[in-house]
Structure 1
Amino acid sequence: MDRPIVARNFAARADLELRYRTERRIGTGSFSTVILGEHRRSARRVAIKVMSRRNIIEGGMREKVAREVRTMALLRHPHIVRLYEVFETPRDVLIVMEYAERGDLYEYLLVQRNQRLEEAEARWFFQQLITGVEYCHSKSAIHRDIKVENLFLDSQRHIKIGDFGLCNTMQEGGFLRTSCGSTHYAAPELLLRRPYVGPEVDVWSCGVVLYVLLGGCYPFDDANTTTLYSKILSGTFNFPLFVPDGPRDLISRMLTVDPRARITVAEIKEHAWFRINIPPHLSMRSYYSTIDMDVLARVTQLGFERQLLIMDLLNNESSEAAVTYYIILNCDRQISAGFA
């Protein structure tokens, strides 16, 4: 039998079913299915991404999947989908993740009037997105596929950046070269297959997201792929008349063709439009760095030994007790009130 792709050892499907009750399919991708599950000990919902090992191996995606799991395991931020644990059977790789109850931002836009948002709500989502992207970059992780379909919403409509299938890691003094992501959101240097550091391509994609939130359409669009490429490479676009003046400057600086002249994440956070009504929780850098004693007490009430749990949390172990702690923490802790 081939070696495991992401786990230390193979598990049985029954091992997963001892911890989680599966309910129904909630999503299907090219190489995966997402199932809604319930964590048995805490009775909290989770999402379980199921990928066929055969498809992974035959598709040459072993390293891609391993990188996705490594990256998600590293990222612990309130605006990034949390990975809880991974099971690997001889047949499947199963990734247990935070469940985003409200679906993705694309679905949310579809039910809005004219498929766009008012300025204040668009800014509220965008502030969360940029904070999550900044955190990714601080961990040397480049998403490379930021789009409204990969931005998920929890019960309070907080942004959760997900789908790290195309992510990669920045190397100090090095460049990335792979062209990937969705064309409408792709930076010019990706289309030209030029080397890039990484953060600048995520900034471009975030600029497209902000344009979509406010405009209800893409800044660059055409049914003909060649023409679409030309529009992106030229960097020429227009704003609908109803897009407010405030964010126009920021979007234009994010959608600058020359990556060296493009605004950085740090500069975005200092932009006057971005700094209006910043949610208080966005400055909470210690969201996961201290142990929540209330959640700790609830986990010990489920039968886990307190001191062992504390040690697992301090050592970043993925024990059953630690997983239970993070599931309860993510499901029950309210970052702030939802957008009013």
Structure 2
Amino acid sequence: EREHRTQREMAIMQLLRHPNICQLKEWMTEGDRYYMFLEYVDGGQLLDYIISHGKLREKQARKFSRQIVSALDYCHRNSIVHRDLKIENILITRDENIKIIDFGLSNIYSPLRQLNTFCGSLYFAAPELLQAHKYIGPEVDVWSLGIVLYVLVCGRVPFDDTSLPALHAKIKAGVVVYPDHLSKDCIHLLSNILVVDPLQRKDLSFVRNHPWLNKGHDAPVDNHLPHRLPLTTPD
């Protein structure tokens, strides 16, 4: 299982070419070992950045969020779901650009087929994963994105408890407390994606076009998909 997951991670990462996704440069095998050579990211973890800076101003959080949304939209439009998006899996360059890493739990998804692997990190995991419900894929990434955004603007996770059962219960209940310093637009965005029912949760298109994400910008963030001519039928 672990070997299969590693092979799948390498296969998926070979497909990904996006400025905010850490690029797989090369890989090799030696016996039962796999070696992956990845793009060097010179600024460390976004987690350390937040620990040293505290909660971010919304303008700075917006810059990071636009890059994360761009990378996620690129993945989803290529039928890839990350499934382990969390603050520890986001690196930052010295010039403060985002690089998403760790596609070890990623998979190909289809709107016609539900996934049933319940994975991810507890603080960032969607409620439906904790309830062992099947899912399509992108909706669990959108929940995790909401948690990441909350961490950026608040400096802490929205659901926390020293007791594991209590933490599970809080995530499943989905009651989020929004600090007074957050703008109305920021709260509106978060409250539309940190929604327990995945059918009521807004999708990435909503996020990409939201006023908060596009404040100070002329258009939604580019997802860096290569331009492709539409298919035509033969005459």
Shared fold, TM over 0.5: yes
Indicate conservation of the 8 Å contact 2:58/2:153, yes or no.
yes
Indicate conservation of the 8 Å contact 1:254/1:262, yes or no.
yes
Match of 2:146 among 198, 207, 210: 207
Distance 1:281 1:273, change over 3 A: closer
Query: 1:177 maps to which residue?
Result: 116
Distance 2:162 2:110 in 1: 36
Distance 1:281 1:102, change over 3 A: farther
Asked if residue 110 in structure 1 is aligned to residue 51 in structure 2, the reply is: yes
Query: 1:84 maps to which residue?
Result: 25
Query: 2:77 maps to which residue?
Result: 138
Match of 2:189 among 243, 250, 265: 250
Distance 1:278 1:146 in 2: 25
Indicate conservation of the 8 Å contact 1:75/1:82, yes or no.
yes
Shift of 1:169: 1.2
Shift of 1:219: 0.7
Asked if residue 72 in structure 1 is aligned to residue 13 in structure 2, the reply is: yes
Shift of 1:66: 0.7
Distance 1:281 1:155, change over 3 A: farther
Shift of 1:171: 2.6
Asked if residue 98 in structure 1 is aligned to residue 39 in structure 2, the reply is: yes
Indicate conservation of the 8 Å contact 2:71/2:223, yes or no.
no
Shift of 1:78: 0.7
Indicate conservation of the 8 Å contact 1:234/1:257, yes or no.
yes
Asked if residue 191 in structure 1 is aligned to residue 191 in structure 2, the reply is: no
Larger radius of gyration: 1
Match of 1:264 among 192, 195, 203: 203
Q: Deviations over 1:260-286 (max 9, x none)?
A: 110110111111111113498943736
Letter paired with 1:139: N
Shift of 1:158: 0.7
Distance 1:160 1:279, change over 3 A: farther
Match of 2:105 among 166, 173, 179: 166
Shift of 1:91: 5.3
Shift of 1:256: 0.5
Shift of 1:225: 0.8
Distance 1:217 1:284 in 2: 28
Letter paired with 1:66: Q
Indicate conservation of the 8 Å contact 2:84/2:119, yes or no.
yes
TM-score, normalization by structure 2: 0.92
Letter paired with 2:109: M
Letter paired with 1:117: L
Equivalent residue of 1:85, what SS? strand
Indicate conservation of the 8 Å contact 2:208/2:221, yes or no.
no
Q: Identity, % of aligned pairs?
A: 37
- Segments of structure 1 that go 5 or more residues without pairing to the other structure are 1-59, 290-340
Q: How many positions carry a matched residue from both structures?
A: 228
Letter paired with 1:101: D
Distance 1:279 1:157, change over 3 A: farther
Distance 1:93 1:138 in 2: 28
Equivalent residue of 1:88, what SS? strand
Q: Deviations over 1:45-82 (max 9, x none)?
A: xxxxxxxxxxxxxxx40111011101111111111111
Letter paired with 1:239: Y
Distance 1:288 1:90, change over 3 A: farther
Distance 1:261 1:286, change over 3 A: closer
Asked if residue 231 in structure 1 is aligned to residue 165 in structure 2, the reply is: no
How is 1:11-90 mapped onto 2 (pairs within 5 angstroms)? 60-90=1-31
Shift of 1:120: 0.2
Shift of 1:227: 0.6
Q: Which has the higher contact order (CA 8 A, sep 6+)?
A: 2
Q: Deviations over 1:230-289 (max 9, x none)?
A: 111111110122222220010011100110110110111111111113498943736799
Distance 1:272 1:186 in 2: 26
Shift of 1:89: 1.2
